Amino acid sequence: MNSGGQALNTSRILKGAAIGVIFSLASLEAATAQQPRPLDGTPPEGCDIAVLFGSYATKIDAEAYDKTQRWLRENSAQVAKVDEVVWGRVGERTLCIAVADPGKIQAVFKRIKRLYPKVNLVAPIAMTSRNGDTFHTKHRDDSPPGPAARSAQENSRRGVPGGRPW
Distance between CA atoms of residues 61 and 76, nearest Å: 22
Q: How far apart are the first and last CA of the chain?
A: 75
The confidence score (pLDDT) of residue 27 equals: 40
pTM (global) more than 0.75: no
- CATH (residue range 49-142): 3.30.70
Torsion from C-alpha of 162, 122, 53, 29, nearest 10 degrees: 60
Residue 130 has pLDDT above 50, yes or no: yes
Q: Is 102 left (phi over 0), alpha (psi -120 to 50) or beta?
A: alpha
Q: Please give the single-letter amino acid code of residue 58.
A: T
Tell me the per-residue pLDDT of 68-92, one tens digit each, with 9 for 90 and over.
Answer: 999 999 999 999 999 999 988 899 9
Residues 44-52 have a mean pLDDT of 90
Distances (CA, A) of 98 to 46, 68, 111, 113: 7, 14, 14, 16
Q: Is 22 exposed, middle or buried (0-12, 13-18, 19+ CB in 10 A)?
A: exposed
Coil, strand, or helix at residue 150?
A: helix
3-state secondary structure 62-129: HHHHHHHHHHHHHCHHHEEEEEEEECCCCCCEEEEEEECCHHHHHHHHHHHHCCCCCECCCCCEEEEE
